[in-house]
Amino acid sequence: MRNLVVVNDPKEWSFSQDGVDVVAARKYLTHPSYTTLDKVRLINLCRSLGYQKIGYYVSLLADARGHNPMPSIGTIQNMKDRAIAAIAGSDLQEIIDDSLAKVQSEEFVLSVYFGRNMAQRHERLASALFRMFPSPYLQANFTKSGKSGRWRLESMKPMALDDIPEGHGPFAQEATTDFLQRASHVRPQKRAQRPYDLAILVAPDATEPPSNKRALQKFGKAGESVGFNVELIHQEDYSRLGEFDALFIRETTGVNHYSFRFACRAEALGLVVIDDPASILRCSNKVFLAEMADQQDILVPKTMIVHRGNVDDLVARLGLPCVLKEPDSSFSAGVRRVNTAKELSEQVEAMLEKSDLVIAQGFVPTDFDWRIGVLDGQPLFACRYFMADGHWQILKRDAGGKKEDVGRAETLPVEMAPTRVVKTAMQAANHVGKGLYGVDLKEVGGKVYMIEVNDNPNIDAGFEDAVLGDDLYLRVMRTFFARVTARHRGWGSA
């Protein structure tokens, strides 16, 4: 397997080694030669892995290209989450106590290099942290509780090359060299399983929930009919996830939303999860979807990944009007149609203040968008979502982002939807994962364009279930049940 190390500036890399290619982050993101590589293990050592920074996009697009990034986007997000750090610390409490027993101060910083630490007594703890949060270099901060006198994992963060403390360089180089010579990554251990129960995560006061109350009732009834005890849970039930076998997220999802932490924690506990963390990460970022479509030869409107270095090329490549999308936009929010060069300049500048990359697409006007629901690799429902009156989108919002109007929806049997529309939806969804997705498409002049793949698609009683009725809910619950029983059988024979 080829080792690819990505840094901001290749001059920063002094660990020369055979079989290791070093590339600048911007070149990896933009040069065509890196989009077609296979059998690649990518080590991301960019200075900043913050949300929507260059290092973040390196791991995101590496995932889209199948380049096995370390750290993954999931690991990056988990390390930023203090709640997940607290849970990890609890799981590792015995190892932490043993490792830090002789530390005299009230605070301690542990530097971990591919699962290793300079001090032999901390090797077990460093290895355990690396298995839970696979990252080339990471820093773990511990504090001692005044009341109990026990150590607590306070926080973690990934480290870049220039974060390596003075005097650690030779050891970091040795650990890096050893790791890059190994055949495969270290993977987290599986966790124990609990009785058969299904949790459905909802937000009681949500203004735009993905399922209305009647649909939630139907999901609950269907779950019970296939063999689950079903319980609706809320944000404050995070600590109870270990009580369940499966988690169904029927709440707004996003990388910086608590629903993502639920998905990560549930997956770590061994639950069957829809939406799983990888699906949330991939669907919530338009940059990933654009790269995935390009890699898989899926037709999309003319698309350009915009950064400060190529803004001036936008009009020539896409023309006007065009559509600008914030990478993590959803439900028509964060999406703007621009008609003039002045409007384009203002909107791009505002978006680049939030994210290093922005998606721009040619404008493809249609009376409606197709939405094909896909579950576990198979079509579930087919809808036509018509544009709101006098508007170019399905949802019309006011200046404050509040929903003002929504176009009508028409549900058809899947077999009555154009074959090419369903096939394109399946191709797109199956390259994101095997969860529950809503693929939005436009059909123009005999061509089908993928617009986006949504995790957590709307399933409302009276709309998406208009054709299948209660069988739609049963199909979802049967998928959960099949996965849970398969997982139990697998562990039972281990």
For 445: left if phi > 0, alpha if psi spans -120 to 50, otherwise beta; the answer is left
Confidence of residue 181 (pLDDT cuts 50, 70, 90): confident
Calpha distance 177→113 (Å, rounded): 11
Topology of the domain comprising 197-275: Rossmann fold (3.40.50)
What CATH class does 76-168 carry?
alpha beta
The pLDDT tens digits of the residues spanning 122-172 come to 999 999 899 888 899 999 999 998 777 899 999 999 998 889 998 999 999
Q: For CA atoms 72, 74, 80, 82, give the dihedral sign.
A: negative
Query: Do 459 and 215 contact (CB within 8 A), yes or no?
Result: yes
CATH number of 302-362: 3.30.1490.20
pLDDT on residue 22: 93
Calpha distance 245→223 (Å, rounded): 12
Indicate the average pLDDT of the chain.
Answer: 88
For 384: left if phi > 0, alpha if psi spans -120 to 50, otherwise beta; the answer is beta
Six-digit token string for 118: 């300079």
Percentage of residues in the chain with pLDDT exceeding 90? 59
pLDDT on residue 39: 80
Six-digit token string for 42: 């990518």
CATH number of 2-72: 3.40.250
Confidence of residue 427 (pLDDT cuts 50, 70, 90): very high
pLDDT on residue 184: 38
Whether 194 shows a pLDDT value over 80: the answer reads: no
Confidence of residue 247 (pLDDT cuts 50, 70, 90): very high
pLDDT on residue 230: 94
For 347: left if phi > 0, alpha if psi spans -120 to 50, otherwise beta; the answer is alpha
Residue 379, number of CB atoms within 10 A of its CB: 19
The pLDDT tens digits of the residues spanning 335-355 come to 888 989 899 989 999 999 988
The pLDDT tens digits of the residues spanning 453-489 come to 999 999 999 999 999 999 999 999 999 999 999 987 7
Calpha distance 463→187 (Å, rounded): 42
Calpha distance 458→463 (Å, rounded): 9
Whether 295 shows a pLDDT value over 90: the answer reads: yes
The pLDDT tens digits of the residues spanning 40-69 come to 889 999 999 988 899 999 999 998 898 889
Calpha distance 142→153 (Å, rounded): 5
pLDDT on residue 87: 78
**Domains in the chain: boundaries:** 2-72, 76-168, 197-275, 302-362
How many alpha carbons fall within 13 Å on the CB side of residue 189? 10
